[in-house]
Amino acid sequence: MGVNPSLSARISGVGAFVPPKVMTNHDLEKLMDTSDEWIVQRTGIKERRWVEQNVSTTDLGFEAAKAAIADAGLKKEDIDMIIFATLSPDHDFPGNACFLQDKLGLAGIAALDIRQQCSGFIYGLSIADKFICSGSHKNILLVGGEVHSKGLDRSPKGRAVSVLFGDGAGAVVVSATEVKDPKKDGHIIATNLHADGAYAKELWLPAPGTGFDDPDRMSMKMFEEDMHYPQMNGKTVFVHAVKRMCETLVHSVTSSGFSMQDVDLFLFHQANMRINDKVGEVLEIPAEKVFNTIQKYGNTTAATIPLGMSDAVKAGKLKRGMLVASAAFGSGFTWASGVWRY
């Protein structure tokens, strides 16, 4: 089925959920060799949310999904596809979309997981946009959710990575629409997706996996070498993140016929405040046009953009009719950008 030129897709509803347990930088000082000053200076993070022991990624996604569906003014039965972006699934398989589908009581509709890490939400938005514009679906639930806290090295040797991540979920409903006034009516205008697998091991989780000379996906050797914890080359990630986010953001905005000055609000992936500040500096974006949440949530990977969108709406910073631009960069390396009228 081809793209229907008379159809567009819009974000009809947004929702978010974070666990109630707050982990401040001072709390982390008790677990590892770090300090509030060190974390804030290097990342901008002051606190993050971590789940209690019995809470899963789809538990968070379920709450965010209910909020997004309600915000869209829909019933759950109106949803005809679920897309779940995550790198921290409840289980290796099946995908989180299936577990969430069951919790929502929506048996029979399509359920899809994507693994684009920090770029997952924009990748998912692009996929939803294409399905909607093909005419095959009317209301797609897109969820970005993560529980990082259960997979972090909380000992002193894990501090460089473990201080960065928090738990949370954000969700949007992407719905079919006809745009009568492009300057006012909500619609997704453009998305651009990229990757370069040559840098896959600069930010990755090696084990469990089948890519080893070992008969098992997880061996004692892998465990003893901490290969079940995330590993990151921070300097390489920073340099590439700034470069690629700037490139793709400019492309999405200008190829859509806008200037950077036309954008009302920028929602960047929340990995590191220094990255977002540098992107803003390079592109000469006024600070008041960038909405950040990393200071209170940390990096929630696939959840950061919809989580920020929800907070921006609640804060009165994002209103219907505004032109929004987003960019993300993460493991893969993957990077992506999008422009939409909210």
Give the catalytic positions in this structure.
118, 269, 299
3-state helix, strand, coil in the chain (%, to 5): 40, 25, 35
CA separation, residue 159 to residues 147, 192, 206, 333 (Å): 17, 33, 18, 22
Q: What is the sign, positive or negative, of the torsion defined by CA atoms of 308, 314, 317, 318? A: positive
Q: Which of 169, 192, 143, 137 is nearest to 9 (CA)?
A: 137
Q: At how many degrees (to 10) do helices 57-71 and 96-104 cross? A: 60
* 193 close to 156: Cβ distance less than 8 angstroms: no
At residue 120, the 3 state secondary structure works out as: helix
> How many Cβ atoms from other residues are within 10 Å of residue 119's Cβ?
30
